[in-house]
Structures are given as structure tokens and as C-alpha cells.
Structure 1
Amino acid sequence: MSDALINGLAGAGGGIIAQLITYPLQTVNTRQQTERDLKKDEKKLGPVDHMCQVVKHEGWERLYGGLMPSLAGTAASQGVYYYFYQIFRNKAEAIALDRRKKGVGDGSVGMLSSLVVAALSGCVNVLLTNPIWVVVTRLQTHSKISKKLQPRHPPEEEILVDFEPPPYGTSHVIQEVYDEAGVWGFWKGVFPTLIMVSNPSIQFMLYETLLKKLRKRRSSSKSGSNGVTALQIFLLGALAKLGATVVTYPLLVVKSRLQSKQVISADNRRHYRGTSDAIMKMIRYEGLSGFYKGMSTKIVQSVLAAAILFMVKEELVKGVRLLITKDAKNTLR
């Protein structure tokens, strides 16, 4: 089994586990990003309070709306990303070693090379998996959009409690997206998503840099071991994701707005024709704060998910390599 395949499968496994644990936070965050009519008192709701509101008015199952296609998307995204990341990383390492033989560099992959490797992997991932995330975004925001279309006559609270969303599954979303924009509708938001490649690029650049420094420090210690524990991987993954999320969050909001169902009405503020149109309307009608809606929820969700993913992925890679080594030894005997 190749190293790229091991990392791809381990990344998919780690992504699924992280997604299962943090999915309710992801649902709440997507709703916060796409909401444009919140009242002042509602804006103060934190992640936990927002989840309680969803459970109260819509039931527990709405926190997991779109879970199955999301798990499929996570497995595909992480598998594709780590597979190509390892392939590009191996090539970068080979180039670095070749440069060292020629007397240039120390043979290690630099920060810029790590950034390029992560960016290339991210672009391949986005182009292949964007349709899945369009479907997931629609499923996560469905009940909110349907609820907004209900009459706003009093008593409003009874409308929210008694509201029963119509049947709406993956097949309904696929048909809806196709009816709206044809095949290209499944690549809505792909431009800001491609720019969002900078998020995992920054994340992996920080992660690899911090990991390299930690291993160097441990190898120079008295023990002389450069091994890193699962807890340290967890913390490094969390720190790397935190830095990447703060920098790129506005692009994530724009992407979610484009992928959610477009409300066609006399109010032109609700309808986006593309990325630039979405950005200009958000600046005009919501101000810069509109680009940071739900950021606290996203930080909690993405940092926790990334930390879990890195930890599980590294442990799975170690386990698979150990099994392969044992099998090789048994074969030689």
C-alpha cells in the first residue's frame, strides 16, 4: 500500500469522526452565515443557545440535517486532499533532496513549498467535491428558509413552534439545484471556495512548521526522541486551524450565501448573481460585520474538528504502518 493511499484513507477516517462529533455546530454556523434578518437580541445567541433554539422549534434531527451527504463529502474531501497532498509532498521532498545534492538548501521542504503543495491539493479537492457541499448547504439551511416564507401574522411564536418542514431530502435538493441553474448549479460558490484553498494551505503550512520545530526540539532534548504524542498533534492541529480560520472566514460566509437557496422576490438584497454581486450587496446592506456572522461558532467547530482530524489521522497512519511492518516481517520468516 502506497504512502499516499495510507494518508488518504486515514484522512477520510479522521474527517468522518471529526464530522460526527462537531456536526451540530456546523449546522448552526451555516445558518448564522446565511441569515440576513436576525433581530438584535437574536444576534447575541451563542452556539449552545442557538442549538437549543433549533431543538426547541424544529427537533433534534434538524441539527443533523444533511449529515449523510456531509459524511460522504467529508470522506471524499479528506481522502482526495490527503491523497494528493502526500503525492505532491513526496515530489517536493524529492526536489528538496536533489537541490541539497547540488549544494542548495538543507534538503527539507520549506514553508513556501508546503504552501504550494497544500494549495494544489486543495484545488483538486474543491473541483471534485464542490457539488456535494452545495447539497449539504441546502439541507442545513432548508428549514430556516422555509420558515421565513411563512406569514408573519401574530402570534409569531406559535408559527415557529407549529411549523412542520415539508419532506426534503438529497434527491429533492439535487433536482432543485438542477432546475435553478442546470449542471453548473452544482459548482455555485466554487470561485470563493477555490480562494478558500488558502485556508487549508495556511493551516498545513502552520501545522507542518510547528510540527517540524517540535520534533527538532524533542530530538535535541536529553531523550533524543523526535516522537510526538497524540495530545501534541491535537494542540498543533487546533492552533493551525485557528490561525487559518481567522484569516479566511469572510470567504466562507460568501460561499455559504451563494450555495444556499436563492430567495427570488421583490427584495433584490436576497438574490446574488455571483461572487462579486454577493460581496457588494453584503457590504452595502450589512456592512463589514456581515462577513463575520457566526465566526465564534466556526472557530469552535473548525478548530475542534481539525484537532480531532489531525490526531485521529496520525494515529491511523501509525497503526497501518505498524501492521504493514509486522506483515512484512512475518512474510520474511
Structure 2
Amino acid sequence: MSDALINGVAGAGGGIIAQLITYPLQTVNARQQTERDPSKPAFKDGAVRQMCLVVKHEGWERLYGGLMPSLVGTAASQGVYYYFYQIFRSRAEAAALQRSRRGVGDGSVGMLQSLTVAALSGCVNVLLTNPIWVIVTRMQTHRKASKQQSPLDLTCVLDKTIEADPSKKKTIEAPAVENIPHKTIHAIQDLYKEAGPFGFWKGVVPALIMVSNPAIQFMLYETLLKKLKKRRASNLKGADGLTALEIFLLGAVAKLGATVVTYPLLVVKARLQAKQIIDDDKRHRYKGTLDAITKMIRYEGLSGLYKGMSTKIVQSVFASALLFMIKEELVKGARLLVTGNTSLVKKLPSKSLR
């Protein structure tokens, strides 16, 4: 099994586990990003309060709206990203060694090369998996009818309406809640009817620009990892003796820096991917990335570009740190299964982030 494949599978596994743990925060954050009305709780309440409101009015299941396609998207994204990252990284390392033999450089991959490798991997990932994330955003931002207004209650209301006016029987056949596209297949059909096949690539422009997020994240991670390993080597503890907790903390710090820098693009992407209401205010209908940015700043101020950032920081930093930690452990385990050599697992550094 190639190292690229090992890292791809490990990245998918780590991403799924991190996704399951932090998904309710993702749902709340998507709603905060796409809320336009300043009077709504999304502008005033924190993440915990928002989750409580969702549970109270819509039920626990809405915190996990779109979970299945999200897990598929996470596995695909992480797998694709880490697979191509490892391939591009290996080529960058080979090129660095060639330059070193000619007397140029020390044979290591620098920051610019690391940034380029991460950006290229991110672009491939976005182009292949964007349709999945459009569906996930649609399902996360869909608001279910209040728990108190159950299908049975709606049916009673319809019965009374039909009794008062039998002529409405033909036009009212079932509770409207049954037609809400909260399932994956319905969300896909709804999106296709709204925007056609190109609708599945809504938000792809800010998503492509957003590859700078993991690029910045991996650049920061590589820098911190290199410094820590160098310090460990100088302390005679071994350059590769990093614990899972240390990997967790390095991943958290790297993700925090990347999220703060690129968050406005994430809000714009969510706005473009969320369902557009035909009768909605034109101020809230976006023709593209620049139109969305212009209207958000004009009608909501600069703060509109940072809606829900505190929730996103908590969710993404925690999820990213978990992903790094779990992935490193899975890579070690996979290498042990493939080689059967425990000493090799300890000596070989993980190349997933190189």
C-alpha cells in the first residue's frame, strides 16, 4: 500500500470521527452565516443557546440535518485532499533534493512550496466535492416546522378547513411539512429545479479561494512541527517522538490562525449555497461572489462577513485538532499492519503533512 493511499484513508477516517463529534456546531454555524434578519436569535445568542432553540422548536434530529451527505463529503474531501497532498508533497521533496545536489538549498521543502502543494490539493478537492457541500448546506440551513406543530396537528387543521369549505379538498391533500426537502434526494431535486446542473457548483469561486485556509493551516502546522521536532532533537528526545496531545495542540493553533484570516469567504460561500427564496428581498439574492460581498457590506456592514465566527472557531479548531491527532494514529496503525515492524512506526515521521 502506497504512503499516499495510507494517508488518504487515514485522513478520511479522521475526518469522519471529527465530523460526528462536532456536527451540531456546524449546523448552528451554517444557520448563523445565512441569517439576514438582525432581529433573529442567530444575531444575538451564542452557539449553545442556538442549539437549545433548535432542539426545542425542531427536535434533536435537526442538529444533524444533512449528516449522511456531510459524512460522505468529509470522507471524500479528506481522502482526496490527503491523497493528492501526499503525491504533490513527494514531488516537491524530490525536487528539493535535486536542487540540494546542485548546491541550492538544504534539501527540505520550504514554506512557499508547502503553501503551493496545499493549494493545489485544495483546488482538486473543491472541484471534485463541491456538489456534496452544496447539498449539506441546504440541509443544514433548512428549518423544520416547530415540534409543537406536528403533522397530526396540521392534519387536524386541514380537516377543519375542508369541513368549512369542501371545495378545498382537491387542493389540500397532505400537510405541507411532508413536502419539505429535508432528505438528501429531495434536496438534490430541489436544487436541480432551482438552478440546473450548474447549481451543484454554487459557491465554487469562494470555495476555490478558500483553499488558502488549509494552505495557511498546513503552512503553520509544518512550521510549528518543524520547530518542535528540532527542539526535541536538540534535547536528545528524538525528532519524531510527538504525542497525540502535542499533535492535537499543533493542529488547533494552525487551524485557529487560518480560520480568522479566511472566515469572510466561508460566510459568502454559505450564502451562495443556501436556498434562494423566489419572493425574498432582492438585497438578499446574490448573482455571484462579488455581488454577495457588495450587498452584505452595504446592507449588513462589515460585521456581516463575520457572523457566527466564534462558533466556527470552536467547531473548526476542535475538529481540525481531532482530525490531525486521529489521522496520525491511523497512519501509524496502517504502517504497522503493512510492515509488521513496530520500530518502523516509531522511526518514520508521518508524511501526511509534509
TM-score (norm: length of structure 2):
0.86
Distance in 2 of aligned mates of 1:189 and 1:26: 17
Aligned: 1:245 with 2:232 = no
- Could you tell me which residue of structure 1 aligns to residue 167 of structure 2? none
Larger Rg: 2
- Could you tell me which residue of structure 2 aligns to residue 118 of structure 1? 118
Contact 1:216 1:226 in 2 (8 A): no
Alignment of 1:143-154 (within 5 A): 143=143
- Could you tell me which residue of structure 2 aligns to residue 154 of structure 1? none
- Could you tell me which residue of structure 2 aligns to residue 82 of structure 1? 82
Distance in 2 of aligned mates of 1:266 and 1:138: 16
Q: State the SS of the aligned residue for 1:109.
A: coil
**Deviation (angstroms), 1:194:** 0.2
Runs of 4+ in 1 over 6 A off after TM superposition: none
Identity of aligned residues (%): 75
- Could you tell me which residue of structure 2 aligns to residue 255 of structure 1? 269
Aligned: 1:233 with 2:220 = no
Contact 2:12 2:76 in 1 (8 A): yes
**Deviation (angstroms), 1:209:** 1.0
Alignment of 1:154-165 (within 5 A): 161-162=148-149, 165=177
Structure 2 unaligned blocks of 5 or more: 152-176, 344-354
Query: Deviations 1:19-49 (Å, cap 9, x if unpaired)?
Result: 0000000000000000011427652311111
Alignment of 1:15-54 (within 5 A): 15-39=15-39, 43-54=43-54
**Deviation (angstroms), 1:180:** 1.2
Distance in 1 of aligned mates of 2:93 and 2:209: 25
RMSD: 1.8
Cα 1:35–1:326 shift into 2, 3 Å: same
Cα 1:328–1:27 shift into 2, 3 Å: closer
Q: State the SS of the aligned residue for 1:162.
A: coil
- Could you tell me which residue of structure 2 aligns to residue 180 of structure 1? 194
Cα 1:282–1:324 shift into 2, 3 Å: same
Aligned: 1:92 with 2:92 = yes
Structure 1 unaligned blocks of 5 or more: 148-158
Contact 2:56 2:147 in 1 (8 A): no
Aligned: 1:214 with 2:215 = no
State the aligned residue count: 316
**Deviation (angstroms), 1:225:** 4.5
- Could you tell me which residue of structure 1 aligns to residue 66 of structure 2? 66
TM-score (norm: length of structure 1):
0.91
**Deviation (angstroms), 1:227:** 1.5
Aligned: 1:131 with 2:131 = yes
Distance in 1 of aligned mates of 2:280 and 2:214: 38
